[in-house]
Amino acid sequence: MINDGFELFVTADQNLQYQQYVECLPLTIAVLHGSDNRLSTLRNLVPLLFKRINEGSLLTVIEISAD
């Protein structure tokens, strides 16, 4: 994934950052926090994700929620 030039990994796994050593990865992990993991629910978070990306200064892990 990293060798292919990806800069962002999007997941709904809210425990990934605690299960893996993500600080050493040269990409940003975006964790989508929805009320459930249905596509229709997560799809509503995508505009918020794009807004956060456009704001810049992405950290190793960013959390996106509708709250």
Instruction: State the pTM of this model.
Output: 0.81
The phi and psi torsions of 7 (rounded to 5 degrees) equal -115, -10
Q: What is the rounded average pLDDT for all residues in the chain?
A: 85
Specify whether the CB–CB gap between 34 and 42 falls below 8 A. yes
Confidence of residue 2 (pLDDT cuts 50, 70, 90): low
Check residue 3 and give its pLDDT.
66
**Measured distance CA(32)–CA(21) in Å, rounded:** 19
